[in-house]
Amino acid sequence: MSTNTENVLQNHLTTARAGVAAIMPDFTEVRTNTVTPALVEPLRSGMRGPVILPEDPAYDTARRVWNAMIDKRPGAIARCTGVADVMHAVRTAREVGVTLSVRGGGHNIAGNALCDGGLTIDLSEMRTVHIDPQTRRAHVSPGALLADLDHEAQAFGLATPLGINSTTGVAGLTLGGGFGWLTRRFGLTIDNLVAADVVTADGQRLHTAEDEHEELFWALRGGGGNFGVVTRFEFALHPVGPEVLSGLVVYPFEQAPRVLAEYNESISEMPDELSVWAVLRKAPPLPFLPESIHGREVVIFAVAYSPESGDGMREIEPVRRFGDPSGEHVGRMPYSAWQQAFDPLLTPGARNYWKSHNFTGLSDGVITTIVDNAGRLPSPQCEIFIGQLGGAASRIAADATAYPHRDANFVMNVHARWDQPTQDEDCIRWARSFFEAAEPYATGGVYSNFLTADELARTGAAYGVNYDRLAAIKRQYDPDNFFHVNWNIPPAGDGRVAGVG
């Protein structure tokens, strides 16, 4: 790298850090060893894929992630085309002593896919999905997006539980836990993971499963990117679709306290095949809603019923009776289309700041807090998302996998989203103050995949009762904490506290 490039990079780093620190005062700088010319040539010489540097035309696109608040500038991006590239990049970075980050789908809200100045292993070209319909297994490469897996599996009438935005990466979603419309019926994404290949800090690839490197396999199911670079996921698949009964039932905001209380009451009676998520936001101009409520606050219940048999109309009927709906659009649609239904509201490129709580139930107190804050949305794109879990996901012990939050029946995501930097302060302040007001009603646990960049102090809460076991496994497989650009678990005994870097 030329001196000029290094200077430009350094200036960008300083500006970016100052910007983030102004908005997020709790932000702790990641400890970074930067890329030097000593890394670039050995790296290039052993890679099939390209190594992208700051002076390359492809660089700015390659460093872009879903959340436009993230403006990190890696010193180099190694775009891997296969496992050999990943092993080579890990070994080279390790030998030279450079900071490493790993990018799957690039959706992580905290921007952990990238590191400032270090080396980013970019897996986005590795998107192959192979389905074996006989054994009902999916073999998934680490750059695959949810839509890639759904597309291939649905060709055989199969699916595994994934998230609700089809452009999310399978890798990051799985390593944190993963939940979506099928979770109440078939468990979390990790509950369907049967094996994973991982390149560990020494550059070796290990095959992990219930009976092979079983502690490492346990840790991968909720322990995030702490243990190595996963190069292949193997999932169990289930017959789903090709159509599911799904859609939206929309209530006017005035009925919010009543319909949310009814929602909370109804969950004990709900079959596992039914998932109902609540969204409080300003109504998009949907054709089935009266124009008079377009742009006004509403409560939207998104329903998905994927039965073994029957049409599901009877099962979703209670959702229509939570109150007097303003409109609804519910019917049978292809499963893979429903998996993409929320994509238009969650496009990349906007500025985003999230705060998340887990709840066992929606008490009157939290409903009042939710309604108060939903009445003060600081931008038309802000929303409060309440995902429903329970069902099969809750019938697994908290220590059966590294993901500990089996008690959470609801995961609330305070999703602040806007376009202009001038709105940063208002939107972030709203999310934080809502989060604080809702805290007394929450379990204290948090889904690691929903943590924002300034939430280092919540890292322990993300791993909960499983933290000590994870730290011991970290000591075994990554004693030098080489993989630390993630919600970091320092190796047991090294004296550092959890957090990024």
Ligand X SMILES: Cc1cc2nc3c(=O)[nH]c(=O)nc-3n(C[C@H](O)[C@H](O)[C@H](O)COP(=O)(O)OP(=O)(O)OC[C@H]3O[C@@H](n4cnc5c(N)ncnc54)[C@H](O)[C@@H]3O)c2cc1C
- Binding-site ranges for ligand X (CB under 6 A): 66, 101-109, 112-113, 123, 142, 163-165, 168-169, 171-173, 175-176, 178-180, 224-225, 229-230, 346, 449, 486
- Tell the smallest beta-carbon distance from residue 415 to ligand X (Å): 8
* Identity of the residue, 401 or 486, whose beta carbon is nearer to ligand X in the bound complex: 486
* Identity of the residue, 103 or 221, whose beta carbon is nearer to ligand X in the bound complex: 103
* Identity of the residue, 230 or 259, whose beta carbon is nearer to ligand X in the bound complex: 230
CA distance 148 to 160: 12
User: Which two tokens mark 83?
Assistant: 């496992």
Assess contact for 295 and 381: CB atoms under 8 A: no
CA distance 421 to 59: 23
Q: Which residues contact 493 (CB under 8 A, 6 or more apart)?
A: 475
Buried/exposed code over 124-149 (b: 16+ C-beta within 10 A; e: otherwise): bebbebebeeeebbbbbbbbbbbbbb
* Identity of the residue, 1 or 30, whose beta carbon is nearer to ligand X in the bound complex: 30
User: Which two tokens mark 386?
Assistant: 């309440």
Assess contact for 145 and 105: CB atoms under 8 A: yes
* Identity of the residue, 75 or 163, whose beta carbon is nearer to ligand X in the bound complex: 163
- Tell the smallest beta-carbon distance from residue 421 to ligand X (Å): 19
- Tell the smallest beta-carbon distance from residue 368 to ligand X (Å): 26
Assess contact for 315 and 392: CB atoms under 8 A: no
- Tell the smallest beta-carbon distance from residue 211 to ligand X (Å): 22
* Identity of the residue, 188 or 293, whose beta carbon is nearer to ligand X in the bound complex: 188
Residues of the chain by 3-state class (helix, strand, coil), percent to 5: 35, 20, 40
Cis before residue 54, ω within 30 degrees of 0? no
- Tell the smallest beta-carbon distance from residue 198 to ligand X (Å): 7
- Tell the smallest beta-carbon distance from residue 188 to ligand X (Å): 8
When CB distances to ligand X are compared, the closest residue is 172
Q: Which position has the token pair 């100052």?
A: 18
* Identity of the residue, 175 or 330, whose beta carbon is nearer to ligand X in the bound complex: 175
- Tell the smallest beta-carbon distance from residue 82 to ligand X (Å): 13
What stretches of 267-330 show up as alpha helix (H) in DSSP? Answer: 313-320
